[in-house]
A and B are shown apart, each in its own frame.
Chain A
């Protein structure tokens, strides 16, 4: 007798692997991106089955939703790409296929020999939860026990927007796609709801699955809708505000660490009485930075005083 949920897991696993193959083999590039989005959502579902709701939320919002939007807007800009594929020699393909099959076999062998459900760091986290200032273990790890990782992650996001602005500086691009009338009406209805959901995810992250990254990604969707609906048009004069938004999270995060260190403690050893306040302050500012940065990554080129699309017409 096979347990129904295990059967579901097996079918889901097969579907995920099949979608991964389909993403790489489907000819049409639009279909490729749509299949990738389906793949990401199915992976998020699998992670829910593995009792990792935080990771599933992050994958659905950031890894799938916003990445999908980035891919689609890039496809819009390069859709006129001349389809002149230089075919890879058959021998190279076969050799790589063999090597990747070997890697799969080796990794699967190692995985099957690895004892699952080792204690790991869960007991250590559980012991120190009372001192962390929050009630949700993943948030405690992200913002307290391993706060250095998270600080560096915010820095990586900052580096990405700097790089994107540098790469596309002074270039002339086709105008971004515009939402139709119906979508504009939809976005007017959806915007307030998204703001509430994003803020709720941020707030609830202290006690339950959610947090700065998931909330920030949902709020970034507000930025995407504003940009797509032409409800907000980036102007060169807005750049200082955008830059302030990009830096805000990193600055507050590092500032709090330095202030705590200035009081004779380790950089992220928050005073127990203020731990929750400090964590919420950091999370709030990081959420704003994430939302602004992700929306700016979607917009791509820095708003410059260059006339858009004078050359491509």
Chain B
């Protein structure tokens, strides 16, 4: 039993939970959050892949990839949220 094993399984669990949420949730905001959970789960696996047992020098390449992923994810989230706001506005206007 090591930290890598524990957090690797945590990451896979978070990914599966996020995937399930993205598939069955109806509310757009919640669906975006579910996809965000998936991305964090994937990040867990990359960070675990970079981890070494005496925690001396982890592999920096997966770390750089996860940082890139985090920035790409906030870009995608911001666009999705703008679409949600626009959709809400259009729905409100048709209701009036």
Please list the residues of chain A having a beta carbon within 8 angstroms of any beta carbon in chain B.
5-6, 9-10, 13-14, 16-17, 20-21, 23-24, 29, 32-33, 36, 39-40, 43, 46-47, 49-52, 54-55, 58-59, 62-63, 66-67, 70-71, 74-75, 77-78, 80-82, 85-88, 92-93, 96-97, 100-101, 103-104, 107-108, 111-112, 116-117, 120-122, 125-126, 137-138, 140-142, 145-146, 149-150, 153, 156-157, 159-161, 163-164, 167-168, 171-173, 211, 213, 290, 294, 297, 300
Please list the residues of chain B having a beta carbon within 8 angstroms of any beta carbon in chain A.
1-10, 12-21, 23-27, 29-30, 33-34, 36-37, 40, 43-45, 47-53, 55, 57-68, 70-79, 81-86, 88-89, 91-92, 95
Cα(A171)–Cα(B68), bound, Å:
32
Q: Is the CB of A88 within 8 A of B26?
A: yes
Partner pick for B81 among A49, A74, A161, CB 8 A cutoff: A74
Instruction: Give the secondary structure class of A's interface.
Output: helix
Q: Is the CB of B74 within 8 A of A163?
A: no
Cα(A9)–Cα(B44), bound, Å:
13
Instruction: Give the secondary structure class of B's interface.
Output: helix
Shortest Cβ distance from residue A175 to the other chain B in the assembled complex, whole angstroms: 14
Cα(A159)–Cα(B75), bound, Å:
8
Interface core residue of A104, A112, A157 (most chain B CB under 10 Å):
A104
Chain B residues closer than 8 Å to A16, beta-carbon distance:
10, 14
Cα(A71)–Cα(B36), bound, Å:
12
Cα(A173)–Cα(B12), bound, Å:
39
11 A–B contact pairs at CB < 8 A? A49-B3, A78-B84, A96-B24, A116-B51, A121-B59, A126-B57, A145-B61, A157-B71, A161-B78, A167-B86, A173-B85
